[in-house]
């Protein structure tokens, strides 16, 4: 997704007149290795005690590229910052970000010109410390009030879709890595579904079935974490070390029935880099690709062997 051109008089992202970067004494955008609790918890309830699953949030987007709504409710008196995050090998943390500028009129945040579906977005709401009133015993104050501590809340998600003059973000996630993994999984699911849809349009006996492995299209970025996706009679296992592994679903299920230590032992002569620290589902996917001695989970079980009838005393003895 590329945002529309800036409105007249609006400086481009990064310009000194419209940048969102706060001064050195001000809060910074969310750090990629840091997160706080979500902002959508009921008042007085710790969000860590509430099960909050990521949801699709629709926010208004002005034709000039200004985001008018936030995907959460900032606390009163807080300032909201936002930035786009992406993996960057040159950064020691492995991540870098681009802050969203604040328009001169002060409403909303300006999306960077280079923004697309699947980008990870981090929001930070900062509650400013409040100074005590000049009269600490003013009306309504029963005791002297001191400055309160500021609070920082982070919200992680990714751009999921665009609909007219709105954008759809998916979140919240606990960390930038979790949001990136979810965005990557959504992209991969879309790519793999297009593979299956292409086979369905081709017709024939393979309609609706996933294409062979050599025809698979997959995300350019390697998997961020270990994942498994089932689609019909095939499955895809993602692993940061071994990439995207497209396997037969029955073969994967059969391999999962074997102990991981046995799979690692049998795979070492065939697959370079096996050291026994792999996730069981990764070993199972590699086994489905490289091992032939896997059980047929669709075969009918063998009938049980009848027990040997007990023998009684020898009545014909001497």
What number is the average pLDDT over the span 154-181? 91
Whether 4 shows a pLDDT value over 90: the answer reads: no
- Phi, psi of 220, deg, nearest 5: -65, -35
Answer for the pair 250, 295: CB distance below 8 angstroms, yes or no.
no
Whether 22 shows a pLDDT value over 60: the answer reads: no
Whether 109 shows a pLDDT value over 80: the answer reads: yes
Confidence at residue 297, expressed as pLDDT on a 0 to 100 scale: 67
Answer for the pair 20, 100: CB distance below 8 angstroms, yes or no.
yes
Interatomic CA distance for residues 215 and 82, integer angstroms = 39
What number is the average pLDDT over the span 38-42? 40
Q: Write out pLDDT tens, residues 200-259.
A: 555 554 544 545 544 577 788 888 889 888 888 888 999 999 999 999 999 999 999 999
Interatomic CA distance for residues 102 and 66, integer angstroms = 9
Answer for the pair 287, 263: CB distance below 8 angstroms, yes or no.
yes
Q: Write out pLDDT tens, residues 265-310.
A: 999 999 998 998 999 999 999 999 999 888 676 666 677 777 877 7
């Amino acid at each position: 997704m590329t945002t529309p051109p800036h409105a007249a008089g609006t400086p481009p992202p990064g310009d000194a007149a419209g940048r969102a970067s706060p001064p050195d004494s001000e809060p910074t955008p969310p750090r990629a290795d840091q997160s706080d609790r979500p902002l959508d918890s009921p008042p007085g309830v710790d969000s860590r005690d509430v099960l909050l699953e990521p949801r699709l949030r629709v926010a208004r987007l002005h034709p000039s590229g200004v985001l008018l709504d936030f995907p959460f409710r900032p606390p009163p008196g807080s300032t909201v910052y936002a930035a786009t995050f992406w993996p960057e090998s040159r950064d020691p943390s492995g991540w870098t970000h681009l802050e969203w500028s604040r328009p001169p009129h002060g409403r909303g945040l300006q999306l960077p010109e280079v923004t697309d579906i699947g980008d990870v977005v981090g929001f930070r709401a900062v509650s400013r410390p409040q100074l005590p009133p000049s009269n600490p015993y003013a009306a309504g104050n029963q005791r002297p009030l001191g400055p309160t501590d500021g609070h920082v809340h982070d919200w992680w998600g990714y751009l999921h879709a665009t609909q007219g003059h709105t954008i759809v973000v998916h979140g919240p996630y606990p960390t930038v890595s979790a949001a990136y993994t979810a965005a990557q999984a959504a992209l991969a699911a879309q790519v793999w579904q297009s593979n299956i849809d292409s086979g369905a349009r081709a017709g024939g006996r393979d309609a609706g079935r996933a294409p062979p492995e050599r025809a698979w299209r997959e995300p350019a970025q390697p998997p961020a974490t270990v994942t498994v996706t089932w689609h019909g009679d095939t499955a895809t296992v993602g692993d940061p070390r071994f990439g995207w592994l497209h396997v037969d679903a029955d073969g994967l299920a059969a391999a999962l029935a074997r102990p991981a230590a046995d799979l690692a032992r049998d795979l070492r002569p065939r697959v370079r880099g096996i050291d026994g620290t792999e996730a069981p589902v990764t070993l199972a996917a590699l086994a489905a690709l490289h091992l032939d001695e896997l059980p047929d989970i669709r075969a009918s079980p063998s009938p049980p062997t009848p027990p040997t009838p007990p023998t009684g005393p020898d009545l014909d003895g001497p």
